[in-house]
C-alpha cells in the first residue's frame, strides 16, 4: 500500500527525528513509516532549501502564478479590445431624428 505524505508531515517527521535521541528506524517505526523514509525526506528537504525541490500543485508555485496572471491579462486585453470595437461601432452610427 503506497501512502502519500504531505510536505508538512515530512518536515515535522524529519524535525522530530533530528530533535529526538532515538535513531531514525525507531522514529520510523513509531510513526508507521517505511524504512528509509526519513533519509529520503531529508534529501528532498535539502534539495528544497537549495531551490531545486519542486512540488506539483503547490499554491505558492511561482510558475503557476505567472501562468494564471498571463491568462488573466489576456482576458483583460480581450475585454478591452471588445469594448474599443463597441465604442467605435456606436460612435460611427449616425443618429436618426425621432421626429417627435
Q: Are residues 40 and 78 in the same domain?
A: no
Residue 61 maps to a domain: yes
Cβ atoms of 23 and 34 within 8 Å: the answer is: no
In this structure, are residues 33 and 1 in contact, taking their beta carbons and an 8 Å threshold?
A: no
Question: Model-level pTM?
Answer: 0.47
H helices of 1-100, where? 7-19, 24-31, 37-49, 62-92
Within a domain: residue 30? yes
pLDDT tens, 25-55? 999 999 999 999 999 999 998 888 776 444 5
Residue linked to cell 513509531: 30
The CA-based diameter of the chain, rounded to the nearest angstrom, is 96
Same domain, 47 and 88: no
Provide the domain limits for residue 79: 56-94
Amino acid at each position: 500500500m503506497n501512502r502519500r505524505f504531505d510536505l508538512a508531515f515530512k518536515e515535522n517527521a524529519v524535525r522530530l527525528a533530528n530533535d529526538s535521541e532515538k535513531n531514525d528506524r525507531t522514529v520510523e517505526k513509531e510513526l508507521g513509516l517505511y524504512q528509509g523514509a526519513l533519509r529520503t525526506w531529508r534529501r528532498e528537504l535539502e534539495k528544497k532549501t537549495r531551490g531545486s525541490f519542486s512540488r506539483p500543485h503547490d499554491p505558492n508555485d511561482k510558475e503557476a502564478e505567472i501562468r494564471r496572471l498571463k491568462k488573466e491579462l489576456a482576458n483583460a486585453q480581450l475585454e478591452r479590445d471588445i469594448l474599443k470595437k463597441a465604442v467605435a461601432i456606436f460612435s460611427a452610427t449616425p443618429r436618426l431624428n425621432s421626429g417627435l
